């Protein structure tokens, strides 16, 4: 009997088993490698080319490109930091920040004193004002400590404001024309009474002492002077006082 053609075309059963087994081993290997790269994407065990191949096969986005193969990051300037020998942001740094402020304040004090010793010299007044403005323009830079920065700025402004008031006082005193003299030896009253009107019964405004300086606006023919008090506890008051206790200041005395 001739052989059956259909039977001749069949594969041997053992070859089918070998093929199925081989495909199973390959599939298991692929799945194992996929799982390994999924849980350990940064591992350097697998070569990058193998993991790139798995990425192309599986579509897994966790496969990472080695740093050596990546594009270099753009250069960024380093953030300036505190040098090793820089003082910390504490009292020592605040002292360093205050040093130029103290020096400028001393210079302003000398300029105000020079103006106060003059007879309202406009050039000396301008120099004193410029010295005060120089205090306000001093920059303050306390690194890494905003609280100390704010404290130093506040102290700088306080020093400038205090000297501005001193300059205004000096300007006011420079207008003095007379000085209270002789009331301490008066047996009736150890002070000169400043009154609201040129009359001994007028309202009592303030008491002036020897050494207080005033600006006399006018002198009445009845022994009274209308004046403004420039120094002493009654500074800023206006009124009338007995002229016999007011001694006119010479230019030399005014400059004291």
Distance in angstroms (rounded) separating the CA atoms of residues 70 and 87: 41
Please, what is the average pLDDT of the chain?
77
Does pLDDT of 108 surpass 90?
yes
The pTM (predicted TM-score) of the whole model is 0.51
- Give the pLDDT mean for 88-110: 81
pLDDT of residue 79: 45
Instruction: Read off the pLDDT band of 132 (50, 70, 90).
Output: very high
Question: What percent of the chain stands above pLDDT 90?
Answer: 38
Does pLDDT of 204 surpass 70?
yes
- Give the pLDDT mean for 218-228: 91
Are 163 and 108 a contacting pair, CB within 8 Å? yes
Please give the structure tokens belonging to residue 215: 């600006």
Does pLDDT of 47 surpass 70?
no
pLDDT of residue 166: 92
CB contact set of 157 (below 8 Å; sequence gap of 6+): 136
pLDDT of residue 81: 45
Greatest mean pLDDT among 65-79, 142-156, 203-217 lies in 203-217
Question: What percent of the chain stands above pLDDT 70?
Answer: 67
Does pLDDT of 30 surpass 70?
yes
pLDDT of residue 19: 73
Sheet holding 246-248, edge to edge: 204-208, 192-195, 238-242, 224-229, 213-219, 178-180, 246-248
Residue with the larger pLDDT of the pair 74 and 17: 17
Greatest mean pLDDT among 30-34, 84-88, 97-101 lies in 97-101
Distance in angstroms (rounded) separating the CA atoms of residues 195 and 98: 47
**Burial readout 71-102 (b: 16 or more C-beta within 10 A, e: otherwise):** eeeeeeeeeeeeeeeeeebeeebbeebbeebe
């Amino acid at each position: 009997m001739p052989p059956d053609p259909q039977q001749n075309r069949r594969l041997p059963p053992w070859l089918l088993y070998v093929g199925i087994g081989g495909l199973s081993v390959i599939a298991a290997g692929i799945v194992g490698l996929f799982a390994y790269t999924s849980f350990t994407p940064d591992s350097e065990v697998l070569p990058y080319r193998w993991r790139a191949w798995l990425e192309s096969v599986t579509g897994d986005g966790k496969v990472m490109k080695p740093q050596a193969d990546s594009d270099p990051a753009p250069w960024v300037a380093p953030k300036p930091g505190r040098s090793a020998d820089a003082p910390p942001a504490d009292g020592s740094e605040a002292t360093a920040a205050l040093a130029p402020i103290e020096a400028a304040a001393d210079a302003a004090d000398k300029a105000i004193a020079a103006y106060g010793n003059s007879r309202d010299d406009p050039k000396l007044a301008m120099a004193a004002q410029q010295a005060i403005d120089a205090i306000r323009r001093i920059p303050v830079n306390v690194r890494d400590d905003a609280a100390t920065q704010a404290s130093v700025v506040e102290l700088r402004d306080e020093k400038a404001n205090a000297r501005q008031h001193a300059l205004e006082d000096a300007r006011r005193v420079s207008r003095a024309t007379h000085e209270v003299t002789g009331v301490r030896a008066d047996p009736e009253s150890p002070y000169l009474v400043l009154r609201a009107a040129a009359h001994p019964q007028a309202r009592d405004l303030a008491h002036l002492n020897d050494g207080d300086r005033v600006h006399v606006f006018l002198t009445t023919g009845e022994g009274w002077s209308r004046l403004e008090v420039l120094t002493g506890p009654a500074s800023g008051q206006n009124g009338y006082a007995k002229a016999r206790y007011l001694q006119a200041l010479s230019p030399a005395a005014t400059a004291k």
